[in-house]
């Protein structure tokens, strides 16, 4: 069994984030007690390529997709699909929080566009096939610093039970233009036909994942 650090994990890096309106009927199954946040038949999904830097607890690349969900009296993110290129991150995500991490290849890393010009393309390959590819370019205008740490929750299934985990994020974000390739016959095919709402570059950001909240 791969050893992994205890929670919480303090991570730093850059990210390429997309928000989408998707047909609620296409959303994958969520943990017991969680249901998609739906308006007019559409749920709100999130996708992200993340490059965790060596300045944090560990360095690795990540692609994730999740859905905003009602859980208890609040709203949480439920991660439905996620890939990393770190065995340690995979083992820790599954063992600590029930995050369904699998392995992927990131042939170009997850580099963010540099400054206000230029674009960067990132891809994740699962079993040699493209799971997602995104091209991002920073929009004009200044970057915005997130006001104080943003606090939220992630809700997952761990050992047959629904568990919630606290997350805190801070850093600097910039609006971006972006195109995503999400093959309909790939693992993120449930997002085929989703409508983009917002694209952001987070550069840099910090994230504290954990501890798991006790019920």
Architecture (CATH level 2) of domain 13-212 = Beta Barrel (2.40)
pLDDT of residue 148: 60
Distance CA 5, CA 22 (A): 35
pLDDT for residue 114: 47
CA angle 175, 211, 60 (to 5 degrees): 55
Give Cα separations from 1 to 47, 90, 95 (angstroms): 29, 11, 11
**Do 125 and 186 contact (CB within 8 A), yes or no?**
no
Which H or E element spans position 93? helix 87-97
Per residue in 1-51, pLDDT (tens digit) is 789 999 999 999 999 999 999 999 999 999 999 999 999 999 999 999 999
105, two tokens: 């290849």
CA-wise closest residue to 146 among 199, 210, 201: 201
What is the three-class DSSP state of 165?
Answer: strand
Who contacts 71 (Cβ-Cβ below 8 Å, separation ≥6)? 31, 33, 34, 78, 153, 155, 162, 164
CA torsion sign, 170 to 79 to 21 to 42? negative
Could you tell me the pLDDT band of residue 115, with boundaries at 50, 70 and 90?
Answer: very low
The pLDDT value recorded for residue 149 is 78
In contact, 52 and 5? CB cutoff 8 Å: no
Averaged pLDDT for residues 109-125: 70
Q: Where does the chain show beta strands of DSSP type E?
A: 9-23, 34-36, 38-39, 42-52, 60-71, 74-84, 101-103, 119-126, 129-138, 144-145, 150-158, 161-181, 195-213
**Joined tokens for residue 10:** 């303090």
Q: pLDDT for 45-91, tens place per residue? A: 999 999 999 999 999 999 999 999 999 989 999 999 999 999 999 99
The span from the CA of 85 to the CA of 61, in Å, is: 6
Domain residue ranges of the chain, discontinuous segments joined by +? 13-212
């Amino acid at each position: 069994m791969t050893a992994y650090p205890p929670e919480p994990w303090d991570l730093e890096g850059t990210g390429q984030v997309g928000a989408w309106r998707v047909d609620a009927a296409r959303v994958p199954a969520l943990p017991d007690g969680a249901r998609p946040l739906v308006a007019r038949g559409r749920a709100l999904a999130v996708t992200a390529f993340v490059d965790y830097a060596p300045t944090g607890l560990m360095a690795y690349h990540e692609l994730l997709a999740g859905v905003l969900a009602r859980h208890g009296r609040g709203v949480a993110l439920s991660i439905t699909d996620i890939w990393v290129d770190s065995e340690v991150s995979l083992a820790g995500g599954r063992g600590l929080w029930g995050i369904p991490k699998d392995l992927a290849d990131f042939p170009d890393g997850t580099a963010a566009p540099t400054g206000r010009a230029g674009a960067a393309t990132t891809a994740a390959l699962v079993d040699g096939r493209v799971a997602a590819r995104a091209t991002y370019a920073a929009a004009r205008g200044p970057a915005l610093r997130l006001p104080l740490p943003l606090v939220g929750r992630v809700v997952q299934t761990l050992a047959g039970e629904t568990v919630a985990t606290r997350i805190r994020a801070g850093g600097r974000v910039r609006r971006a233009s972006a195109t995503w390739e999400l093959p309909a016959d790939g693992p993120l095919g449930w997002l085929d036909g989703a409508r983009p709402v917002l694209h952001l570059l987070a550069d840099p950001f910090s994230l504290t994942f954990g501890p798991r909240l006790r019920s």
